[in-house]
């Protein structure tokens, strides 16, 4: 954007900025959107651009919300599998409850997703790092309010954005790989079932 222009006393004609499509766009990934926006802000702050006490709060909130949405996606992908070699039907899949506590969501990941990921693959992930990240965010912001509303504790925090930038990408890669693993497992099961049906003449 150009130089700052003060327009409070100018009369502008408002123009629509939000357009609604007739059909949803399924490729839109809200978690990815929150992560990328956080990444951009943190990159600027690490370079010394902007103000940690202003953009920094928004950056941390965006990442925290990404965590919530990423965990929910992993839980759902896990629930689409009865076990590692058997897909669930649509009516067997329970939607994720409206839960915001990261610690609870992580417990659901352990219940609904971990058993469907091969032990060696799960063990290869840096799970302890993810758990420490989730534990810290849960301790600082149990309800998802601290970085969103004043008076909820966020005013007391400051951040190590240099390490945070590295940590958020590490967590992003781990959680993203877990989701992809589950999606691909579902696809492989579906492909195998299709082969079996074809061979049986169905």
Does residue 6 belong to any structural domain of this protein?
no
In the chain, the number of structural domains is 1
* Residue 87 · residue 193 · CB < 8 Å: yes
Q: At what angle do helices 161-200 and 55-79 cross, to 10 degrees?
A: 20
Q: What is the model's pTM? A: 0.91
Q: How many CA atoms within 13 Å lie on the side-chain side of 178?
A: 30
- Would you state the pLDDT for residue 1? 52
Does residue 13 belong to any structural domain of this protein?
no
What domain range includes position 196?
30-200
88: Cα separation from own chain's centroid? 23
Alpha carbons 161 and 72: distance in angstroms, whole number: 25
Q: Which residues of the chain have pLDDT under 50?
A: none
> Which tens digit of pLDDT belongs to each residue from 88-119?
998 899 999 999 999 999 999 999 999 999 98
Tokens of 199: 């061979």
- Would you state the pLDDT for residue 202? 64
* Beta bridge pairs of residue 86: 83
Does residue 126 belong to any structural domain of this protein?
yes
Q: Alpha helix locations (H) across the chain?
A: 30-46, 55-79, 102-112, 119-124, 127-140, 161-200
Does residue 88 belong to any structural domain of this protein?
yes
Does residue 120 belong to any structural domain of this protein?
yes
């Amino acid at each position: 954007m150009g130089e700052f222009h003060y327009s409070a006393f100018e009369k502008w004609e408002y123009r629509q900025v939000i357009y609604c499509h007739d059909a949803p766009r399924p490729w839109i990934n809200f978690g990815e959107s929150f992560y990328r926006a956080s990444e951009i802000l943190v990159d600027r702050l690490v370079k010394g651009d902007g103000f940690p006490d202003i953009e920094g709060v928004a950056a941390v909130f965006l990442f925290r919300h990404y965590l919530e949405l990423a965990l929910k996606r992993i839980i759902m992908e896990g629930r689409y599998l009865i076990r590692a070699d058997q897909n669930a039907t649509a009516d067997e899949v329970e939607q994720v409850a409206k839960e915001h506590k990261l610690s609870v969501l992580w417990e659901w990941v352990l219940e609904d997703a971990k058993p469907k990921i091969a032990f060696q693959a799960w063990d290869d992930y840096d799970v302890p790092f993810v758990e420490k990240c989730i534990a810290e965010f849960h301790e600082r912001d149990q309800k998802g309010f601290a970085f969103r509303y004043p008076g909820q504790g966020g005013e007391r925090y400051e951040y190590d954005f240099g390490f945070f930038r590295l940590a958020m990408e590490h967590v992003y890669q781990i959680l993203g790989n877990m989701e992809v693993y589950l999606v691909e497992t579902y696809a492989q099961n579906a492909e195998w079932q299709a082969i079996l049906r074809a061979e049986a003449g169905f």
